[in-house]
Amino acid sequence: MSDYLSTTERETREMLDKIGVKSIEELFEDIPADMKLKKLNLPEGKSQQETMEIMTALSKKNKVYDVILRGAGSYDHYIPSMVKNLSSRSEFITAYTPYQAEMSQGILQAIFEYQSMICNLTGMDVSNASVYNGANAAAEAMLMCCEKNRKTFVTFNNIRPDTLKVLNTYAHRRGITVKVIDAVKGVSDIASLKKELNDTSACVYIEQPNYFGLIEDAEEIGKAAHEAGAKFVMGCNPIALALLKSPAECGADIAVGDAQPLGLPMSFGGPYVGFMACTTKEMRKMPGRIVGETTDHDGNRAYVLTLQAREQHIRREKAFSNICSNQAYCALVASMYMSAMGPEGMAEVANACVSYAHYLAEGLESAGLKLKYRGDFFHEFVTECDKPADKIIKALDKAGILGGLKLSANEILWCATETLSKADIDRAVEVVRRVK
């Protein structure tokens, strides 16, 4: 709270004297009296100690799980203390949109560093900073790809349900058709894709890994899209990119995803941050802001906003997007996480996710569940069994474990990250084994 102390009476008096008015009320004298509230019905203010007591009491109503085995788009990863402490500095959490470059060199440099890291991670040429979340990023990529004669967006029913809903919302009033193809054994079927692609197809969108945790044959899907004259968009888990081929290596024109796994804690609805990166060819359609590095008239390094006038300024009617804000603070946190971990650290996290996920899958199979899909998977997988999913999840909940996400009466989507231990998994498996 000390970061947000209001002005003192003396400081207020000095400001009023400077602008030549006697009181704050005089600043609003042009507003008719009958439009002004006489009194706000607000409770009395609280001291810092009282506020802490209230917030602590509220926090005790939350259920805190010892073990988390759920992902489905929001992932529990260890966040280094460096990230939490640095990102809590007041100069970061109070920074505003850097409209005036000469006054915002610090935040512009932070955004530039984030963009550079996203480009390194995806292998793409350009990154923005940024959009609201991963689903929003996928929808913005759809708008980038759709043109006058190509307005069909092709995807599969193995992408995240929330992403598909956002895609349909964006497409609804823009004359865009969202074509959803059935996956085969959980993965995108290239033969079915080729049958659906034609000269109206704008792009093909897949997620890597997909919603069921399976690894897609992204290169072949990209080739099929390009052969039909369509663009290829990949939705990516940024932690998985430490192990898998980059979108650039798979031939993607645009890479999108949610950077929540990069140092952002799981929260009730966010905020998260959607990343977008693309080839130079697609750069001028990119929404959001792009920060560039240059030199000033003295030859010193300087940062500027580049290619950001097309959404909200003089040519709004020609804009590809109406995005007019960004998630710069969340992007800053993500860049701090990537800096703290480095390539080796992120690869270690990714390897741990794979290892624990496969150990969990083996344990659950020994407890009577079976994998629904037998393909390669990263850190999520789907099980099915005769035991009701609700009973399994409730039993785990009683043991202080957040179980996987129920997909149907007998199907559960599980997730394992580096935050688990072998003992955690063994305990969860034993709980499942006892469910009748």
Q: Write the DSSP string, 192-240.
A: HHHHH--TTEEEEEEEES-TTSBPP-HHHHHHHHHHTT-EEEEEE-TTG
Same domain, 51 and 92: no
In order, the DSSP letters of 168-181 are HHHHHTTT-EEEEE
Kindly tell me if the per-residue pLDDT of 231 is higher than 90: yes
Q: What is the largest CA-CA distance in the chain?
A: 79
**Within 10 A of 421 (CB to CB), how many other CB atoms are there?**
11
| Pair 148, 301: CB distance under 8 Å | no
- For residue 393, pLDDT over 60 is answered with yes
CATH, residue 148: 3.40.640.10
The last residue of a domain, from among 290, 318, 337: 337
pLDDT for 195: 97
Interval 29-46 mean pLDDT: 88
**Average of per-residue pLDDT across 20-29:** 92
Residue 370 shares a structural domain with residue 421: yes
Residue type, 363: G
Residue-number span of the structural domain to which 145 is assigned: 83-337
Q: Are residues 148 and 261 in the same domain?
A: yes
Total of domains in the chain: 3
CA distance 109 to 116: 10
Least confident segment among 25-34, 347-356, 394-403: 25-34
> What pLDDT shows up at residue 1?
40
Q: How many CA atoms does the CB half-sphere of 300 hold within 13 Å?
A: 4
Report the alpha-carbon distance of residue 163 to residue 168 in Å, rounded: 9
For the CA atoms of the chain, what is the radius of gyration?
Answer: 25
Q: Are residues 10 and 99 in the same domain?
A: no
Q: 135 and 243 share a domain?
A: yes
Instruction: Show which of 288, 307, 337 is a domain's final residue.
Output: 337
Judge contact between 186 and 217, C-beta under 8 A. Answer: no
Please answer whether residues 268 and 87 qualify as being in contact, where contact means their C-beta atoms are separated by less than 8 angstroms.
no
pLDDT digits (tens, 9 = 90+) for 324-377: 677 889 999 999 999 999 999 999 999 999 999 999 999 999 999 999 999 999
| Helix, coil or strand: residue 141 | helix
Contact between 225 and 206 under an 8 Å Cβ cutoff? The reply is no
Q: Is residue 320 predicted with pLDDT exceeding 90?
A: no
Over range 10-20, report the average pLDDT: 94
Statement: residue 303 has pLDDT above 60 = yes
Asked if 228 and 185 sit in the same domain, the reply is yes
pLDDT digits (tens, 9 = 90+) for 128-170: 988 999 999 999 999 999 998 999 999 999 999 999 999 999 9
Exposed/middle/buried for 330, CB within 10 Å: 0-12, 13-18, 19+? buried
Residue 16 has pLDDT above 80, yes or no: yes
pLDDT digit string, tens, across residues 171-199? 998 999 999 999 999 999 999 999 999 99
pLDDT tens-digit readout, 60-110: 999 989 899 999 999 999 999 999 999 999 888 877 778 788 888 988 999
Does residue 325 sit in the same domain as residue 394?
no
Residues 328 and 352 reside in one and the same domain: no
Between residues 57 and 37, the one the model is more confident about: 57
Strand order in the sheet with 405-408: 370-371, 380-384, 411-415, 405-408
Give per-residue pLDDT as tens, 242-288.
999 999 999 999 999 999 999 999 887 788 999 999 999 999 888 88
Do 186 and 318 lie in one domain? The reply is: yes
What pLDDT shows up at residue 270?
Answer: 80
Find the range with the poorest average confidence among 1-5, 50-54, 76-80, 344-348: 1-5
Q: What pLDDT score was predicted for residue 39?
A: 83
Beta pairing, strands 274-278 & 126-127: antiparallel
Identify whether residues 220 and 254 lie together within a single domain.
Answer: yes
Give DSSP secondary structure letters for 86-123.
Answer: HHTSHHHHT-----SGGG-HHHHHHHHHHHHHHHHHH-
**Which of 310, 337, 364 is the endpoint of a domain?**
337
313 and 290 in a common domain: yes
Residues 146 and 228 in one domain: yes
Strand blocks (E) in 240-363: 254-258, 274-278, 290-295, 301-306
The first and second tokens of residue 317, run together, are: 């009617």
Residues 385, 365: Cα–Cα separation, whole Å:
9
Closest to 337 measured CA to CA, from 259, 394, 411, 408: 259
Report whether pLDDT(2) > 50.
no
pLDDT of residue 130: 82
